[in-house]
Chain A
Amino acid sequence: MSFIDDPQFGNTMITLMAALVLVLQIATVGQRWLITTIRIFAVQSFFLAAIAGTIAFFNQANHLYIAALLTLVLKAILLPFLLERTVERVGIRKEIEPLINVPLSLLISGCLTLVGYVVAESFYHPEETSAQSALGHNTLAVAIALFLIGFFMMLNRRKALTQVLGLLSMENGLFLAAISLTYGMPLVVELGIFFDVLVAVMVFGILAYRIGESFDSMDVSKLRSLRG
Chain B
Amino acid sequence: MILLWLLLIPFVAGPLAFVLRRRPFMEAVNLATFALVACLAAALSAQVLQRGPVSFWDGFLYADALSALIVLLTAFVALVCSIYAVGYFRHDEKYTFFDENEEVLGELAVYKLRKYYSLMPLFVFSMLLVALANNLGILWVAIELTTLASVFLVTFYGRKTSLEAAWKYAIIGGVGLSMALFGTILTYYSAHRIQGTETLAGLNWSVLVQNAARFDKTTMRLAFILILLGYGTKAGIAPMHTWKPDAYSEAPVPVAAMLAAGVLNCALYGLVRFYVLTSKCLGPQFGSQILIVFGLLSMGVAVPFVLVQRSFRRLLAYSSIDHGGIMVLALGFGGPLGILGMLLHMTFHSITKPLLFFSAGNIQQHLKTDLFRKAKGGLIHSMPWSGAGFLMATLAVTGSPPFSLFQSEFTILRAAFGGGYLLPAILFVSFLVAIFSGFLVHIANLVLGPDPGLPPAETCRWKKSSLLGLATVIIVLGFWIPAPLFSLIQSAADLVVSAR
Binds A, one of B135-143, B429-437, B475-483: B135-143
The smallest beta-carbon distance between B36 and chain A, in angstroms, is 26
Does B18 lie at the interface of the complex (its beta carbon under 8 Å from any beta carbon of A)? Answer: no
- Residues of B in contact (CB 8 Å), total 48
Known: A207-B170, A210-B163. A200 touches B203 (CB 8 A): no
Q: Contact between B189 and A193 (Cβ–Cβ < 8 Å)?
A: no
| Size band of the interface chain A makes with B | 35 or more
Query: Which residues from B are CB-within-8-Å of A181?
Result: 185-186, 188-189, 192
Query: Which residues from B are CB-within-8-Å of A199?
Result: 145, 148
Query: Which residues from B are CB-within-8-Å of A167?
Result: 171, 174-175, 178
The smallest beta-carbon distance between A41 and chain B, in angstroms, is 15
Docked complex Cα distance between A27 and B165 (Å)? 31
The chain A residue sitting closest to B305, CB to CB, is A228
Q: Contact between B151 and A195 (Cβ–Cβ < 8 Å)?
A: no
Docked complex Cα distance between A122 and B163 (Å)? 42
Does A186 lie at the interface of the complex (its beta carbon under 8 Å from any beta carbon of B)? Answer: yes
Q: Contact between A196 and B148 (Cβ–Cβ < 8 Å)?
A: yes
How does the 8 Å CB contact mask read for A172-187 relative to B, with 1 for contact and 0 for none? 0010011001110111
Q: Contact between B200 and A186 (Cβ–Cβ < 8 Å)?
A: yes
Does A47 lie at the interface of the complex (its beta carbon under 8 Å from any beta carbon of B)? Answer: no
- Which parts of A121-174 form the interface with B (CB within 8 Å)? 122-123, 147, 151, 154, 160, 163, 167, 170-171, 174
Binds B, one of A3-11, A75-83, A96-104, A218-226: A218-226
Select one of B170, B182, B200, B310 contacting A187, CB under 8 A: B200
How does the 8 Å CB contact mask read for B159-197 relative to A, with 1 for contact and 0 for none? 011011111101100110010011001101100100000
Query: Which residues from B are CB-within-8-Å of A189?
Result: 135, 137-138, 140-141, 200, 203
Docked complex Cα distance between A151 and B218 (Å)? 23
Query: Which residues from B are CB-within-8-Å of A123?
Result: 189, 218-219
Docked complex Cα distance between A164 and B314 (Å)? 27
Q: Contact between B164 and A225 (Cβ–Cβ < 8 Å)?
A: yes
Q: Contact between A207 and B151 (Cβ–Cβ < 8 Å)?
A: yes
- Sample (25) of A-B pairs whose CB atoms are under 8 Å apart: A63-B198, A151-B175, A154-B171, A177-B182, A178-B188, A181-B192, A182-B185, A183-B198, A186-B135, A186-B203, A188-B137, A192-B137, A192-B138, A193-B181, A196-B145, A199-B148, A200-B144, A203-B151, A211-B167, A215-B160, A223-B164, A226-B165, A226-B245, A226-B250, A228-B308
Does B498 lie at the interface of the complex (its beta carbon under 8 Å from any beta carbon of A)? Answer: no
Q: Contact between B171 and A147 (Cβ–Cβ < 8 Å)?
A: no
Does A57 lie at the interface of the complex (its beta carbon under 8 Å from any beta carbon of B)? Answer: no
Q: Contact between B167 and A228 (Cβ–Cβ < 8 Å)?
A: no
The chain B residue sitting closest to A220, CB to CB, is B167
Query: Which residues from B are CB-within-8-Å of A215?
Result: 160, 163
The chain A residue sitting closest to B197, CB to CB, is A186
Docked complex Cα distance between A189 and B245 (Å)? 32
Q: Contact between B141 and A195 (Cβ–Cβ < 8 Å)?
A: yes
Docked complex Cα distance between A8 and B137 (Å)? 32
How does the 8 Å CB contact mask read for B304-315 relative to A, with 1 for contact and 0 for none? 010011110010
Select one of B168, B170, B309 contacting A204, CB under 8 A: B170
The smallest beta-carbon distance between A172 and chain B, in angstroms, is 10
Does A73 lie at the interface of the complex (its beta carbon under 8 Å from any beta carbon of B)? Answer: no
Known: A186-B200, A199-B148, A210-B155. A226 touches B171 (CB 8 A): no
Q: Contact between B160 and A196 (Cβ–Cβ < 8 Å)?
A: no
Q: Contact between B178 and A171 (Cβ–Cβ < 8 Å)?
A: yes
Known: A123-B219, A174-B181, A228-B314. A185 touches B164 (CB 8 A): no
Q: Contact between B141 and A196 (Cβ–Cβ < 8 Å)?
A: yes
Query: Which residues from A are CB-within-8-Å of B246?
Result: 226
Q: Contact between A192 and B141 (Cβ–Cβ < 8 Å)?
A: yes
Interface residues of A (CB under 8 A from B): 61, 63, 122-123, 147, 151, 154, 160, 163, 167, 170-171, 174, 177-178, 181-183, 185-189, 192-193, 195-196, 199-200, 203-204, 206-207, 210-211, 214-215, 220, 223-226, 228
Q: Contact between B202 and A186 (Cβ–Cβ < 8 Å)?
A: yes
How does the 8 Å CB contact mask read for B296-329 relative to A, with 1 for contact and 0 for none? 0000000001001111001000000000000000
Query: Which residues from B are CB-within-8-Å of A203?
Result: 148, 151-152, 170
Does B199 lie at the interface of the complex (its beta carbon under 8 Å from any beta carbon of A)? Answer: yes
Docked complex Cα distance between A228 and B188 (Å)? 40
Q: Contact between B141 and A147 (Cβ–Cβ < 8 Å)?
A: no
Does B359 lie at the interface of the complex (its beta carbon under 8 Å from any beta carbon of A)? Answer: no
Does B249 lie at the interface of the complex (its beta carbon under 8 Å from any beta carbon of A)? Answer: yes
Query: Which residues from B are CB-within-8-Å of A178?
Result: 185, 188
The chain A residue sitting closest to B136, CB to CB, is A189
Query: Which residues from A are CB-within-8-Å of B163?
Result: 207, 210-211, 214-215, 223
Query: Which residues from A are CB-within-8-Å of B175?
Result: 151, 154, 167, 170
Q: Contact between B178 and A174 (Cβ–Cβ < 8 Å)?
A: yes
Select one of A151, A187, A207, A224 contacting B166, CB under 8 A: A207
The smallest beta-carbon distance between A187 and chain B, in angstroms, is 7
Query: Which residues from B are CB-within-8-Å of A122?
Result: 218
The chain B residue sitting closest to A167, CB to CB, is B174
Q: A182-B188, A211-B163 are known contacts; what are 8 more A-B pairs with Cβ within 8 Å?
A: A154-B171, A163-B171, A170-B178, A185-B185, A187-B200, A188-B137, A193-B140, A193-B181
Docked complex Cα distance between A188 and B188 (Å)? 14
Query: Which residues from B are CB-within-8-Å of A177?
Result: 182, 185
Docked complex Cα distance between A147 and B168 (Å)? 20
Q: Contact between A188 and B167 (Cβ–Cβ < 8 Å)?
A: no
Q: Contact between B161 and A228 (Cβ–Cβ < 8 Å)?
A: no
The chain B residue sitting closest to A61, CB to CB, is B198
Q: Contact between A186 and B181 (Cβ–Cβ < 8 Å)?
A: no
Known: A189-B141, A211-B163, A214-B160. A228 touches B219 (CB 8 A): no
Q: Contact between B167 and A223 (Cβ–Cβ < 8 Å)?
A: yes
Q: Contact between A147 and B137 (Cβ–Cβ < 8 Å)?
A: no
The chain A residue sitting closest to B192, CB to CB, is A182
Query: Which residues from A are CB-within-8-Å of B161?
Result: 225-226
The chain A residue sitting closest to B310, CB to CB, is A228
Query: Which residues from B are CB-within-8-Å of A224?
Result: 164
Docked complex Cα distance between A168 and B174 (Å)? 10
How does the 8 Å CB contact mask read for B121-148 relative to A, with 1 for contact and 0 for none? 0000000000000010110110011001
